A and B are shown apart, each in its own frame.
Chain A
Amino acid sequence: MGIITKRKALVAWILIAPVVLLRIFTALYPMTATFYYSLFDYNQIERTMDFIGLGNFAAILSDNTILETLKFTGFFTAISIALHLVLGMALAMLLNVQFAGRKFLRTIVLVPWAIPLVVAGIAAKWMFNGEYGLINDILSRIIHIKPDWLISIWGARFSVIATDVWKDTPFMAIMLLAGIQSISTEVYDSARVDGAGPWKRLFNITVPMLTPVIITLLIFFSIWRLTSFDLVFAMTQGGPGSATSLLSYRVYVEAFLNLSFGYSSAIAVFMFVIMCIVGVVGLAIHKKVNY
């Protein structure tokens, strides 16, 4: 018996070895190394590699541009997630309706999800162009205004959030739809018999029963926003100034433009810690709601 169990375990480990080794090389090792580098004044231009303990973290806390980046990252995450949730919920309900346009709706909803973020970001840059962009063309036809979206601080912030919402709300809606469809129809039927209208059914059945799913999705979507990179890279390069700079984008700038690997690693670790806090708090809420 013992031998069979041992042989089985050996076979299992051989089967999972490729996947586990891949993740050790592409995730575990590099993350550990990033933690290690974060303790060094490690710069490729100045060719330094000196141990400075928590020096980089002290520098982060007194770096005004990082604080501004952090503020925008928080703002971006909060606003974007709120819009994702409200619009995603509405879209999920619509996706759940049986009607002739269902197949059409389900197909087009996948389009923003499948478009490469760089394509969406670069196209959005042109779309929000003050003179020739699609948005201003429509606005000037209807209400005769032509705001300078990407040149003003709040205009640029709004544009980035709007693009992010356009790109990712459908995905949120699909995830919510999965949750809605896992609620048994009997609950709705008996509510209908009891005379509950559509709004009552939404707030008394769908939302409460979806709460665990919603919280899980909020954790994931927040973490993706906190660590997102492509959109801002393609659309605004963090500008104007650092008005739309996100933490991951700063990691990239410090590492591959300024070649200060130590400082960049410290920002990455800092971001990782924030992400863990969001995750832990989210899980705590999730547990509380579930029991």
Chain B
Amino acid sequence: MSRRLEGALSSTWIVVAIVGAGTIACKAAGPVLLGGRSLPPQLAGIVDMLAPALLAALVVTQAVGADRKLVFDERLLGLAAAVVAIRLRAPLLVIIVAAAGVTALARLL
């Protein structure tokens, strides 16, 4: 048993180490390699569009994403509440609380 436990512990630490190093490298690559230089204009135009493309993908994966499948559940009702709150120009915190509240409520019912 103790050997299995050791195996589990060390594989956890290996993943922590690899993922930590990989994440630090991903985040630092641009800022360290580019220094303070800015990008040429054509590339800057593309980088400007990263935010909308990435945020839309995050909305989709958070709202209906699961492990290799689409799941349409209470999260969508929360998102609908968020749409209403956004249209009413509610502050960010209200939007988030509304979405969480409606998701939780729908799950209770």
Say whether A associates with B. no
Residues of A within 8 A of B (CB): none
Partner-A contacts on B (CB < 8 A):
none
